[in-house]
Amino acid sequence: MAKSADSLHESAKRKRVAFVDADPLLFDSIRSLLLDLNLVAVRSLTADATKLDQIEALVPDIILMEYDGRIEEIEALADQLNNKSRTMPMVLMRVPPEQVHDLKRLCSSHALLGRNVTPEEFSRAMNIVALGGNFIDPVLIDECPDDNDADQTAASGAAKDDEDDPLSEREQAVLYQIALGHYSKEIAANLDVSTKTVETYKTRAMKKLRLGDRTAVVRYAVVNGWFEKLAAKSKVT
């Protein structure tokens, strides 16, 4: 039976997630989770191919991999993709806390998930990456050796402060952009304001919410459901 025009259009909009070196059972579980997010999971059946060959054959929008502790392999893959002018988000599962900072440096667009990530947290991470943002498993943030305790707790405690001293529309817009992984020049272009204005809104908003850095902003966005709201808006439009 032929697909309707609406269903063809819907499938065309779906982003492809390449699950590299996927175990068949794990792949089936993840595929069902991704379908609910309007994402399509694909995997290579050529086990002896290199990761780069698998990725290129699958033509994905997002790369999903289980991290095996060999950071040099991720570095080589990132370099190979850069050399081919292929930039795409990389989602790594089973990441140890002590390697979060190094992996963030290698993968400019990323989601880093711990060993015991829940299905809900996995779905949230994939949703954020599909929307153009970066995500770090809150458990990894809590256990990361270099994180500041005050910044870690600020996001969960900031909601009450937000009610007492609410953000302006522009301040919230800037924080949304930061949570999605954008920097000041990009935000200025997106909002049609100067970089200096972006910095002013950012400083004011982060001071109101007691957020110390960009990681704390992302954590605040996750805790307060900002990404779910963005996803709902994107489905409506």
Q: What is the pLDDT of residues 142-179, one digit of tens each?
A: 776 554 443 444 444 444 444 455 788 899 889 988 88
Do both 97 and 184 map to the same domain? no
234 vs 194, more confident: 194
Instruction: Specify whether the CB–CB gap between 155 and 219 falls below 8 A.
Output: yes
Distance, CA of 45 to CA of 24 (rounded, Å): 10
Domain co-membership, 12 together with 129: yes
Evaluate if residue 195 carries a pLDDT over 60: yes
Q: What is the pLDDT of residues 26-84, one digit of tens each?
A: 888 888 888 888 899 998 766 567 888 888 888 899 999 999 888 888 888 888 887 77
Is 156 found in the same domain as 174?
yes
Q: How many domains does the chain have?
A: 2
- Pair (125, 215) in one structural domain: no
66-80, 131-145, 196-210: least confident range: 131-145
Same domain, 185 and 139: no
Residues 9 and 121 in one domain: yes
215-236 pLDDT, tens digit per residue, is: 788 878 877 777 766 655 545 4
Greater confidence, 93 or 106? 93
What integer pLDDT is reported at residue 47 of this predicted model?
58
Q: Is 10 in the same domain as 92?
A: yes
Same domain flag for 220 and 111: no
Do both 14 and 128 map to the same domain?
Answer: yes
Examine the fold and report which residue of 143, 159, 181 is the final residue of a domain before the chain moves on. 143
Is the pLDDT score of 2 beyond 70?
Answer: no
- Tokens standing for 191? 């909002």
Domain boundary among 125, 143, 161: 143
Chain-centre distance of CA 15, in angstroms? Answer: 14
Nearby residues of 29 by Cβ (< 8 Å), 6 or more positions away: none
CA angle 42, 64, 56 (to 5 degrees): 60
Q: Which two tokens stand for residue 125?
A: 């991470």
Residues 112 and 193 both lie in one domain: no
Residue 3 in this model has a pLDDT that exceeds 50: no
Selected residue with higher pLDDT from 216 and 18: 18
- Of the residues 100, 123, 143, which one is the last residue of a structural domain? 143
CATH of the domain at 170: 1.10.10.10
Residues 137, 57 share a domain: yes
* 91: helix, strand or coil: strand
Same domain, 60 and 84: yes
Residue 113: predicted pLDDT: 92
Q: By residue range, what is the domain housing residue 67?
A: 5-143
Which percentage of the chain shows pLDDT scores above 70?
Answer: 78
Please spell the DSSP secondary structure of 26-45, one letter per residue. HHHHHHHHHHTTTEEEE--S
- According to the model, what pLDDT value does residue 12 have? 42
